[in-house]
Amino acid sequence: MEEKLFAEFITLLRKKSESTPVIVEGKNDEKLLRRFGIKNIYTLSGKNYFDLVEQLGEQTHEVILLTDVDPQGEKIFKKLSQILEGFNVRVDSSFREYLKKLGVKEVEELKLLLFKG
């Protein structure tokens, strides 16, 4: 079940990232997702949220917000969602739901699923 869900998550994210920016917290998240073939990734580390949102708002009307589902990630998700929506950018949070279903709290933990079984 977990393998199938993981494969579905990666396949859908890979496809959607072709046309929709993916926002992650850090460089390690970005590196891992790139290894899975995910494109169009923006990291938050060291960036001003408003500058990033303003830049993205000029390019797109939707982003995939893939922050961790730990307390810090939830805080970032809420704050950034508000800012994005203020710039009329729709937030796709469906991939965070996959993390929850997979029992993963941090994006970096996805690499552990590769070595299970």
* Band (115; pLDDT cuts 50, 70, 90): low
Is the whole-model pTM more than 0.95? no
- The domains found in the chain, sorted by start residue, are 2-114 (3.40.1360.10)
pLDDT at residue 56, rounded to an integer: 87
Widest CA span in the chain = 44
pLDDT over 60 (residue 107)? yes
36-89 confidence digits (pLDDT tens): 999 999 999 888 998 899 888 888 999 999 999 999 999 999 999 999 999 999
Integer Cα distance of 103 and 2 in angstroms? 9
Kind and range of the H or E run holding 109: none
11-33 confidence digits (pLDDT tens): 999 999 999 999 999 999 999 99
pLDDT over 70 (residue 1)? no
Integer Cα distance of 22 and 40 in angstroms? 6
Higher pLDDT, 57 or 101: 101
DSSP string, 11-68: HHHHHHHTTS-EEESSHHHHHHHHHTT--SEEE-TT--HHHHHHHHHTT-SEEEE---
pLDDT at residue 46, rounded to an integer: 85
Q: What is the mean pLDDT of the chain?
A: 93
